Every structure is written in C-alpha cells, then in structure tokens.
Amino acid sequence: MPFISIKTSLPEIEDSEGLLKELSKLIAILTGKPEKYVMTLLEKNVPMTFSGNNNHCCYIEIKSIGSLKPATMTAEISKFIEAKTQIKSDRIYINFEDIDAKKWGYNGRTFA
C-alpha cells in the first residue's frame, strides 16, 4: 500500500537496487506499515528542469492509505535522497497523496 515513485534527471545512481531496498525500509518505518506492502519505483535519466535550469533534480510521489505525515516525512526522505544521490533538498519536490482504501487494489481486491 505505501508506494514511492522517484523520478530524477540523474543518468545513473550507484547501487540503485540498494537504494530502493533501503527506501522500502524507510517508508515502512515512517508510515508504520508492514514492508510487505511497500512498493518502490525509480526512473533515472528523466528530462527535467527545476528553477529554469536542467541541473539535477528529483520528483517524488508517495501514496498510501493513511499514515502520511508530510510535515515530518519530508525532512527524512529529503535527507535520505540527498545522501544517496547528492541532489540537494532544494532540488527535490515531494508529493504526498492519501488514497481511499476502496480505490487501492491488491491481490485481486481492494483494501476496503
């Protein structure tokens, strides 16, 4: 149920698989949801601009059925991404979306 999607202009990220696995654990901790339900996605080399230039940047979407705390999660996630990619937090946007359980499908049914 928690889903985090990262799109970045970086052409490559060292140990992308490791980044996704660590991010999965972090999202499970931050949301209090079992990691069994966390999905992560990384798209690299996405043509992007931010502040009118094409210096490396990152756009993140986080969706979950409840358990989102944008005010506190933003700092933790930005710090993590900056450490793993060297993209400064002022070049990162994060969009949080709380999804209604009846609109989230899994394993042939919805969560509500």
What does the pLDDT read at residue 37?
95
pTM over 0.85: yes
pLDDT by 10s per residue, the chain, length 112 = 899 999 999 999 989 999 999 999 999 999 999 999 999 999 999 999 999 999 999 999 999 999 999 999 999 999 999 999 999 999 999 999 999 999 999 999 999 8
**Cβ distance 100 to 1 under 8 Å?**
no
Single out the catalytic residue among 2, 11, 34, 47.
Answer: 2
Largest CA distance in the chain: 43
Q: Is 70 a catalytic residue?
A: no
Distances (CA, A) of 19 to 37, 56, 84: 17, 17, 7
Residue owning tokens 């358990």: 67
- The structure tokens 């989102």 sit at 68
The residues that bridge with 61 in the sheet, in sequence order, are 5, 95
Torsion on CA atoms 26, 30, 36, 42, rounded to nearest 10: -50
User: How much is the pLDDT for 9?
Assistant: 97
